[in-house]
Amino acid sequence: MANKQRSCSIMVFADYRQVYVHDASFDFAASAADWFDWTGTNAENRVAAAPGMLNICTARNVDVQVRIEVFDAEPPLDVEAWDQVVEAGIALSSGQLTVSSPLGENALSLAVDQGQYCSRVFFGGLHTLSDDGLLGQDHYLVQLWPGRFDGVAIRKRDLVSCGGFG
């Protein structure tokens, strides 16, 4: 049985409809740009992953609610109340998990044990947006637990992709 070790919520400005969940030591300049590419599979998944980084594509380009939950083991998977659920791996070598906008705004830092983690990103309220895309009830949950996960896997897919920046 998985025990929740810590949790917190943050309102973060999803600049260019993106929220970064990353290791505090992640080197943005030195990393490959795959985590920034919102075409093809990344757009369908709504999550782009790189070692030490999850780039989450949100439904709106405004402040959005993100909740982080850290467990000691894999929590039960319940997709019923969510529009999309995606799993990916993330390395947290510094022992500090950071949640921020692409500009570093609204940053939250959370102490975690160093190591490899599995993550599960939940997307809710994706179909609650106003016609202009500014209002809505979209919200996001990121669950993390120790373990190794390579690649990105969809556990529940929504029909709307993340494409169409502009």
Q: What architecture does CATH give domain 4-156?
A: Sandwich (2.60)
Please give the pLDDT value at position 6: 92
Contacts of 132 (CB under 8 A, 6+ apart): none
Residues of the chain with pLDDT under 50: 165-166
57-90: per-residue pLDDT in tens? Answer: 999 999 999 999 999 999 999 999 999 999 999 9
152-156 sheet: strands from edge to edge:
4-13, 63-71, 139-146, 115-124, 84-92, 152-156
Which two tokens mark 150? 């390579």
Contacts of 110 (CB under 8 A, 6+ apart): 6, 8, 68, 70, 96, 97, 98, 99
Question: Has this prediction a pTM greater than 0.85?
Answer: yes
